[in-house]
């Protein structure tokens, strides 16, 4: 005789954000709380500088766009993401830098804990504590949830890997050009500027 296993109850974003702030680094992935342990991601000065520089470059581009504009956010801003075909399994993850569409910005209160939907661009900057598996899982989640373009920045090797749902990953080094057509029309910079 086999024992029946009760199905795991999925956690909502509201329940996730009601958890205590106890110093444990957590994300909500497909309705399951993932605890990364009692270590907060260790970022170094270079990580912070690159995060600020990417934000600056995106904001310069944004201010040249016609109204209504979207918004550039940075610093592990949370987004509720859902994979197609499984709307009950929510994910709520912090993203280093993101460009958010004008429509999603308009639908989100300034005091909201998270954006309810995917950004147009998600940027992850590798930290010493990141594993390749963590990054691969995040990129797969972002693309499945409708993020049209993802950049993963490696500060050590001064490279940017560009992911799109319908293409092979593209590796750009500091000597190349970083673009995001058609999702960020007109955005084009020398990749080395990301690392300045």
- pLDDT tens column, 87-126: 777 888 999 999 999 999 999 999 998 999 999 999 999 9
Looking at the domain assignment, is residue 16 inside a domain?
Answer: no
Looking at the domain assignment, is residue 32 inside a domain?
Answer: no
Looking at the domain assignment, is residue 177 inside a domain?
Answer: yes
DSSP per-residue letters across 14-46: HHHHTS---S--EEEETTEEEE--S------HH
Helix (H, G, I), strand (E, B) or coil at 13: helix
What is the DSSP code (8-state) at residue 175? Answer: T
Q: Are strands 26-29 and 177-179 parallel, antiparallel or unpaired?
A: unpaired
Looking at the domain assignment, is residue 143 inside a domain?
Answer: yes
Note down the domain range covering 139. Answer: 41-77+92-195
Q: Looking at the DSSP assignment, which residues form a beta bridge with residue 170?
A: 162
Looking at the domain assignment, is residue 186 inside a domain?
Answer: yes
More confident residue, 28 or 38: 28
* 41 has a pLDDT exceeding 60: no
Q: Looking at the DSSP assignment, which residues form a beta bridge with residue 97?
A: 74, 123
Which one, of 190, 150, 187, lies nearest residue 64 by Cα?
Answer: 187
- Percentage of the chain exceeding pLDDT 90: 61
| CB-count exposure of residue 132 (10 Å: 0-12, 13-18, 19+) | exposed
Lowest-confidence pick of 4-8, 128-132, 152-156, 179-183: 4-8
Determine the Cα–Cα distance for residues 108 and 117; give it in Å rounded to an integer. 10
Which one, of 130, 15, 36, 157, lies nearest residue 80 by Cα?
Answer: 15
* Residue 161: its H or E element: strand 159-163
Q: Looking at the DSSP assignment, which residues form a beta bridge with residue 29?
A: 32
- Percentage of the chain exceeding pLDDT 70: 90
User: Residue 114 maps to which CATH number?
Assistant: 3.90.1570.10
* 34 has a pLDDT exceeding 80: no
* 18 has a pLDDT exceeding 80: no
Within 10 angstroms of residue 45's Cβ, the number of other Cβ atoms is 8
Looking at the domain assignment, is residue 17 inside a domain?
Answer: no
The strand ranges marked E within 32-137 are: 32-35, 71-82, 90-100, 114-116, 121-125
Looking at the domain assignment, is residue 35 inside a domain?
Answer: no
Looking at the domain assignment, is residue 152 inside a domain?
Answer: yes
pLDDT on residue 28? 76
155-191 pLDDT, tens digit per residue, is 999 999 999 999 999 999 999 999 999 999 999 999 9
Do 81 and 93 form a contact (C-beta atoms < 8 A)? Answer: yes
Domains of the chain: total: 1
């Amino acid at each position: 005789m086999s024992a029946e296993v009760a199905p795991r109850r999925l956690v909502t974003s509201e329940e996730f954000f009601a958890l205590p702030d106890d110093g444990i680094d957590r994300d909500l992935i497909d309705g399951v709380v993932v605890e990364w342990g009692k270590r907060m991601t260790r970022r170094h000065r270079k990580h912070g500088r690159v995060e600020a520089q990417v934000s600056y470059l995106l904001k310069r581009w944004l201010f040249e766009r016609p109204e209504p504009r979207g918004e550039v956010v940075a610093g592990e801003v949370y987004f509720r993401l859902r994979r197609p075909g499984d709307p009950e399994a929510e994910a709520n993850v912090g993203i280093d830098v993101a460009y958010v569409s004008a429509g999603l910005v308009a639908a989100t209160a300034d005091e909201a804990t998270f954006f309810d939907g995917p950004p147009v661009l998600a940027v992850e900057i590798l930290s010493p504590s990141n594993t390749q598996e963590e990054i691969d899982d995040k990129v797969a989640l972002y693309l499945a949830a409708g993020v049209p373009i993802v950049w993963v920045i490696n500060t050590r090797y001064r490279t940017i890997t560009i992911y799109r749902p319908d293409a092979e990953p593209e590796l750009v080094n500091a000597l190349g050009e970083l673009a995001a057509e058609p999702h960020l029309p007109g955005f084009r910079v020398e990749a080395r500027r990301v690392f300045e």
